[in-house]
Chain A
Amino acid sequence: MKNKTTHSPESLVRRIILSLSLVFFISFSAPVVAEYGDVVINKRAEKEGMRPVIFPHWFHRIRFRCKVCHNELGFKMRAGGNDITMGEITEGKYCGMCHNGEISWTIENCDLCHSGLPGLKSAIHGSNETSGPGRW
């Protein structure tokens, strides 16, 4: 079989070197470093002048099983799937079901939740290989 585009050995080596350097460029310039399972919630926060919200799964799953939030409290299992407003949290819904001064600290600690870098999009982050829904 003859290929239409045959490559000389030199060009092959060059290509490999090129792709390797590309790999090093990609992997050293933009490593995925966020902790696995961290969720950014930023539908409204930044538009309203607050930092994006970061919800850490690793921290909460040490204290609560998934079923507490995703069954008892009814959080949908989709990043961005819950239409959360600060008003509802203050009324004791969503994060406010626990961050109420009883199960956890109160919503007065704005910065602990609103801790994200400006410009982050609502999504799950930190998966080192796959990013869950929507990435592929």
Chain B
Amino acid sequence: MNKKLILGILLLTLSAALFAQKAKWVALKNDQLHDPQSPAIHVLQQPAEALSLLPPDYTGNLVSWVDALQEHYIEPRSTLFSDTQVNTLEMDIVMGNTGEMPMVMFPHTPHTEWLDCKNCHDVIFKEKVGANPINMFAILNGEYCGRCHGAVAFPLTECNRCHSVARNVFTGKPGVQPKGFIQNRKPR
């Protein structure tokens, strides 16, 4: 009992401390990655200089990258070579094996804006609803969604951005949803 209580308090305080720490962008010379002695330190762009101009978020890069793209704050290139095909897909998938948690909604649109089908199919996910034995432990281990989320895309602490389909509100069936499903809701 006591041990659990203490562990709980420990974890809570730790996350609060980390959260408070990461309230703004750190200068490169203090980021414990860049060598302050390096001649590049005054040449490289500071994260704050670029990222403070983009739509804010409270986690990850402190930037809402989906909004930054959608609202044309940034125009990242989709190809380098003229003969590369650009693939996008509008298809929302609800996943229901989430125990007590709200169900997971996977939207293809924001993903295929950034990524190609081949980045996920079939390297990370088989291209068939229900064909992937996804679970939260594997995700936390960096598999499936955790390949990107927790590394480059928004971190895994944001449960409700994936687990965004409340069980008492959702009347449909898990699997591919009718078009327009995502537009009604903003998970953030």
* Interface residues, chain A, with chain B CB atoms under 8 Å away: 3, 7, 12, 15-16, 19-20, 22-24, 26-28, 31-38, 40, 51, 54, 56-59, 61-68, 70-73, 77, 79, 97-98, 103, 111-112, 114-118, 120, 124-136
Contacts and interface: CB of A to CB of B under 8 A. Distances in A.
Given A51-B35, A66-B114, A117-B35, A112 B44 contact: yes
B150 A65 contact: no
Contacts of B80: 68, 72-73, 97-98, 103
B156 A130 contact: yes
Interface in B63-84: 63, 65, 74, 76-81, 84
Contacts of A56: 47
Interface stretch (B10-18, B101-109, B162-170, B173-181): B10-18
Contacts of A72: 79-81, 84
Contact of B142 (A64, A116, A133): A133
Contacts, number: 192
Nearest to A78: B147
Contacts of B32: 33-34, 117
A28 B14 CA distance: 10
A69 to B, nearest CB: 9
B25 interface: yes
B89 interface: no
A115 B35 CA distance: 6
B33 A62 contact: no
A117 B10 contact: no
B50 A59 contact: yes
A57 B13 CA distance: 29
Contacts of A116: 33-35
Interface string B1-22: 1100010011001110110011
A118 to B, nearest CB: 7
7 contacts: A35-B26, A65-B77, A67-B78, A71-B118, A71-B119, A73-B80, A117-B32
Interface string B107-120: 00000011110110
Contacts of A36: 60-61, 152, 155
A56 to B, nearest CB: 8
Contacts of A112: 40, 43-44
A59 B43 CA distance: 14
B77 A68 contact: yes
Contacts of A15: 2, 6
Given A23-B10, A32-B18, A36-B61, A62 B156 contact: no
A136 B137 CA distance: 10
A116 B74 CA distance: 27
B38 interface: yes
B34 A64 contact: no
